[in-house]
Structure 1
């Protein structure tokens, strides 16, 4: 399998990381649960997932921080919401910004996985006063350039492919979507138990919401905005899905190109992790998170 196709299977086959909590309303966009005390740490998952994404992360962090675990409608066990089916990143971003305004004092550490990392970059570039720092867990400012290996790719150029993908997802049943996810689950995480969890979360997600989110993720390029970012950021890169040293280095270079020119962003490789870094290397992940918060996430 070529490096490009391996990237596509790794990140597009199951671009995950979202979450769920008890819903107060069928029309709720964003769900949250809070544990611990201290500086707020906000956990944002990505696509087709629920709170199990943060199962090894939430409790250890809550020993030192006030942890806010968020979830979006239509992912995992949460009912879908018409707003997110029609315009995902705008409505999800608005809900996220409002949540931070109402529940933190601008000192939040935002940790986003996959799509959640993209939403974190969107927030940090457009509303930098809303957070203290950002940790992007294997999610980047422009998804399509990363998976294609083409840093010159534009959002406009990828729209036909993204539209085709959206049409397909709108016609899928959750069971069909889960079958697609299962084919690439081994490249998402190394554990068979966690692979089964990935598939289970996809099976209860809403394909129309997933398709809309994927379309917008593929056709939105935040690299120009991120180049001027002044929010301290840690970009985590998972290269454990690549088999050779050369492939790993090529992949790492692709991550570096996403954040080129911004001294506020540090790149950290996890060479033994696949897409779910917090599952594959939980101790190293928590060590990196705690170190970054201590070093960069205080006034």
Structure 2
């Protein structure tokens, strides 16, 4: 009652996890090019898009979703699947990889960070960010996802690039305000850096990039290197020029090429 999974194709298993406010449909164009060689599993967190919220009406979101994905992998007999997660889904993929150890073959996180506020200030802590995250949570419940971007600035919720990355996903497919607000709060406050040492699978970080030196995206790799330094082995970085946060939608060709390299 926490997730929905659409499965098709045959071959090695690849689990796709969407970001905040997205369903498995966000991955469909990528999966369509892979299901002749791989068995793809498109996860949707209940409450995103037009799906019934069910169990996600209360409690946490990302932690229970990760636990359900782990249970799905075990019950369906997936053999060391690859995980690909975008934004909040990237954080969920890191949770699953930390929990399953060698049960996962590799992990790709797409425009995601173990702790989003560290992209603004490496010294930031969850406790410091929590009041802003709480304001965002309340604003989303009050105004809804479509109005939140403009209202957030009025309420003082401004986290620069990290905020843009988290907020930009909200209006893509939307969803139930309760689950969107909980996902927003967790994306801004949960720090997964202490769990990185539990991940044994190799990690690839894909992110949107620009040549413009004045754009914060130009400097993302350095920030990611710092944020992911707790991994047992350094991650591989794949930058996709011309993409923002929705990398797989904005630059589908280069993104698919990066996925093929990741799975090869």
| TM-score, length-scaled by structure 1 | 0.76
**C-alpha separation in 1, matches of 2:171 and 2:130:** 27
Superposition deviation, residue 264 in structure 1 = 4.4
**C-alpha separation in 1, matches of 2:108 and 2:135:** 31
**C-alpha separation in 2, matches of 1:214 and 1:180:** 11
For the residue of structure 2 that corresponds to 1:253, the secondary structure is helix
Confirm or deny that 1:244 pairs with 2:213.
Answer: yes
For the residue of structure 2 that corresponds to 1:275, the secondary structure is coil
Confirm or deny that 1:119 pairs with 2:89.
Answer: no
Distance 1:289 1:118, change over 3 A: same
Does the 8 A contact of 2:243 with 2:251 survive in 1?
Answer: yes
Distance 1:246 1:210, change over 3 A: closer
Partner residue in 1 for 2:134: 163
Superposition deviation, residue 199 in structure 1 = 3.9
Partner residue in 2 for 1:100: 73
Structure 1: gaps of 5 or more residues: 1-27, 189-194, 295-299
Alignment: residue pair count: 250
Superposition deviation, residue 230 in structure 1 = 1.9
Within the candidate set 113, 116, 121, 1:150 is matched to 121
**C-alpha separation in 2, matches of 1:143 and 1:198:** 15
**C-alpha separation in 2, matches of 1:200 and 1:290:** 25
**C-alpha separation in 1, matches of 2:172 and 2:240:** 25
Superposition deviation, residue 42 in structure 1 = 0.7
Partner residue in 1 for 2:173: 201
Confirm or deny that 1:292 pairs with 2:256.
Answer: no
Structure 2: gaps of 5 or more residues: 153-163
Confirm or deny that 1:213 pairs with 2:186.
Answer: no
Superposition deviation, residue 276 in structure 1 = 1.2
| TM-score, length-scaled by structure 2 | 0.85
